[in-house]
Structure 1
């Protein structure tokens, strides 16, 4: 009897060890997914993104579908950069295209569950949006350095997010202390504000419904939120030693 019980236990234990597990979400996985997303956008092939059957997709904060959204339009991509959040299993990608008739600056947050995209949010800026100028955006973005930060100098997720939140909170509360870097450069469309980012920040604006993608290796935090309770907005921050170094913005004007 004892031998039978032991044998049964070992069989169950072996079965448990052999059971399939959720796909690991590490940096290499996210890099592969980010590259696949960029390739899918370049080819206009939405099925190039490995998405779950229940994926939710929004474009400019409105419910859409992969087959009818911007991802179904082939774009000549002049610039792209992706950050990787292994804690949330998410990516953020910035894309710039100066293609005639299809010029856009695009920001996309993608969250993955069990190896497939479960939530995709895209902001697509076009002519008429805030300071829209893809050629200017390309000029300045391509000159910046968003390299990996040495491990010993990396900030924590909490520090990176706090810097981003402080900047966004300042719009509605001028008493907020923002960790300004020196220098700091802010890219808004074709406008490049430097060497200080503490210039021209509006007042009386509430930035609500924030969603974050944070990459400690690159010191970045992208935030999707509703600007002033109305406009879809993305602000991406590069934080170095706790201080803001770069800020990229895109705002859809309804």
Structure 2
């Protein structure tokens, strides 16, 4: 990939300290999809002082995309019972204003205390909602039998190695065979290919991917990393809002989705 604004908000970056119930998280992501479809944040179990960030910028939740009705064509979620966080990727290709929206929810108990969304639309890096929807619907994200779950550490390490390999060629990301990458609307990787189609080149220095925030779901081999991606946006060389969404199977990366927001059309490239 080519391919984030560094805003540290303690309420969003900090992980919750206590484990929580998976069913509660699942109900919350269902409610999130319904809230976004209706443009009604109050359908969510929000804390009174909920923190809301959109593309790394703090915003009034009543003025953000969550307060706009959006036609949702497809959604996929992760539920992290260890850190009490959840992640949802929304594909909205047939909406009047197409979007791909990746959202991280942080909980205290059963209440959402922070929402962080990366909202991509026309002009963002290789954005094509129609293509993104078509490819993501072909992927197989079935639950993994518990006996075959990778550990949280293994899943996290796979995603970190992928990002770290962009700046250090000696780091080898654990790509599966096959491996498919969906960057914006661009798909690389044949589903039955015996070759590695996810390999990324080393980017020029200085290149450090900072402000990584994680959601891990062992039952799906799922990992979402919110980060500030440097280099690609000419007006924000130190980082623009970005997400990397992985499926890891047997310690190997099977799928990668990348969404990156640009301050100017095409990040000025």
TM-score of the superposed pair, with normalisation by structure 1: 0.88
Q: Which residue of 250, 256, 259 maps to 1:247? A: 256
Contact 2:246 2:255 in 1 (8 A): yes
| 1:66 Cα offset (Å) | 1.4
Q: Within 5 A, what are the aligned runs for 1:1-254?
A: 25-195=20-190, 196-204=196-204, 205-228=207-230, 229-254=238-263
1:98, distance to aligned residue in structure 2 (A): 1.5
| Equivalent-residue separation in structure 2 for 1:85 and 1:109 (angstroms) | 11
The residue aligned with 2:193 is none
Specify the SS of the correspondent of 2:220. Answer: coil
Structure 2, unaligned runs of 5 or more = 1-17, 191-195, 231-237, 264-269
State the TM-score, normalized to the length of structure 2: 0.83
Q: Give the Cα–Cα distance (whole angstroms) in 1 for the partners of residues 202 and 142 of structure 2.
A: 30
CA displacement, residues 147-182 of structure 1 (integer Å, 9 cap, x when unaligned): 110111110000000000000001111110211100
Task: Please state how far the C-alpha of 1:212 moved relative to its aligned partner.
Answer: 0.1
> Residue by residue, what CA displacement relative to the aligned partner does 1:42-72 show, whole Å, maximum 9, x if unpaired?
0010111111012111000000121111000
Task: Kindly indicate whether the alpha-carbon contact (under 8 Å) linking 1:83 and 1:215 is maintained by their aligned counterparts in 2.
Answer: yes
Looking at structure 2, the residues matched to 201 and 145 of structure 1 have their Cα atoms a distance apart, in angstroms, of: 27
Give runs of ≥4 in structure 1 deviating > 4 Å: none
Q: Which has the higher contact order (CA 8 A, sep 6+)?
A: 2
Taking the aligned partners of 2:100 and 2:245, their CA distance within structure 1 comes to 13
User: Which is richer in helix?
Assistant: 1
**Cα RMSD over matched residues?**
1.4
Alpha-carbon offset, residue 115 of structure 1: 1.1
**Counterparts of 1:45 and 1:60, CA distance in 2:** 19
What secondary structure does 2:219 align onto? coil
1:11 aligned partner = none
Q: Secondary structure of the residue that 1:32 maps to in structure 2?
A: helix
Quick check: which has more Rg, 1 or 2?
Answer: 1
